[in-house]
Each structure stands twice: as structure tokens, then as C-alpha cells.
């Protein structure tokens, strides 16, 4: 009886250990942020690109830095171009807050009030994409030279698959 009990407990412990090692789906998947940016940039070329930096996140986009573990992104350094690709790995449980803050930024850049020569930028920003997947949040604003949001959506989906 003792051998049977020891064997049963051993099997149960082994099953528990194996269950703990399983992947619970895409929520736990990790992505190379630079690879995601590069994949989206194929569908949304960024003219005269520059890297998104800490000042862009905190001073321009008004994101809470404590909610962000890491990020990568490119934005156009041309005044008349709206192109933006931003990929954020949020702190655990903070992706929703990051998405909300990015939505507020989207509203600020698409709600009008800029000079008339920036109307095309505002128009592209109205349809900007903000996608949350697990702890990752992606924001893409199409470039003003006519990037196609259908292609951008496809690139985001493929990059986060």
C-alpha cells in the first residue's frame, strides 16, 4: 500500500510539474520589438525615419513610463508626414492602461486645430491602429503618402502571430 501511495503521489507531482511548464497561449508569447517594427514598416514606410525616444513617450504621447518595460518605434522626421510605428511591451497587467493612454494621444493628433498644411496628417491619424495582444501594444499611424490601413492591419496581425 505504501508503494502504491508513493507511486500515485509521484505521478501526481510529475503531472503538476508538467502542467506548470505549459504555454497558456499567445498571452505569454514574447516578441522581438524591432522585428515587429520592421514587419509593419514594410506596409507603412516611414520617410526620413527617426527612433521613438523617451521624450516622445513621456512628453509628447504622455505615456506613464512605469507601465512600459521596453519599446521600439519609428516616426517620420518630416513635418508633413504622419508615419508612426510604436511597439510597447507593457509591465504585467498594464497593457490596457498603455492602450488607453495611446488612444488619448491618437485623439490629440487627429482632433483638428493644427495648421491647414497638416490636415492630411490629422486625417491619417483618425484611423490609427492601436492593437493590444497580451502584454504588447502596437500603435501605427499610416504615412501621409497613402499607406493602406488594410495592409497595415495584415502586417500587425502577422507580426503578432
Beta bridge partners of 141: 84
Residues whose CB is less than 8 angstroms from the CB of residue 147 and which lie 6 or more positions away in sequence, other chains included: 43, 44, 45, 83, 124
Is-contact 76 111, C-beta < 8 A?
no
Predicted confidence (pLDDT) per residue in 75-87, tens digit: 999 887 889 999 9
The pTM of this model reads 0.80
- Name the nearest CA neighbour of 103 among 91, 114, 111: 111
pLDDT for 125: 84
pLDDT reading at 121 higher than 80: no
Average pLDDT on 11-26 reads 46
What's the pLDDT tens digit per position in 43-93? 999 999 999 999 999 999 999 999 999 999 999 998 878 899 999 999 999
Amino acid at each position: 500500500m505504501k508503494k502504491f501511495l508513493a507511486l500515485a503521489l509521484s505521478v501526481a507531482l510529475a503531472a503538476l510539474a508538467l502542467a506548470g511548464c505549459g504555454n497558456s497561449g499567445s498571452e505569454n508569447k514574447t516578441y522581438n520589438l524591432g522585428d515587429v517594427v520592421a514587419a509593419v514598416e514594410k506596409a507603412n514606410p516611414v520617410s526620413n525615419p527617426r527612433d521613438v525616444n523617451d521624450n516622445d513617450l513621456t512628453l509628447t504621447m504622455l505615456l506613464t513610463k512605469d507601465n512600459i518595460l521596453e519599446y521600439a518605434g519609428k516616426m517620420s522626421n518630416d513635418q508633413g508626414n504622419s508615419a508612426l510605428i510604436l511597439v510597447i511591451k507593457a509591465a504585467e497587467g498594464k497593457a490596457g492602461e498603455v492602450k488607453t493612454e495611446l488612444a488619448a494621444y491618437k485623439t490629440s493628433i487627429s482632433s483638428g486645430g493644427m495648421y491647414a498644411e497638416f490636415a492630411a496628417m490629422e486625417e491619417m491619424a483618425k484611423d490609427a491602429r492601436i492593437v493590444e495582444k497580451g502584454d504588447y501594444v502596437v500603435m501605427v499611424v499610416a504615412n501621409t503618402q497613402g499607406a493602406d490601413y488594410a495592409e497595415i492591419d495584415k502586417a500587425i496581425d502577422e507580426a503578432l502571430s
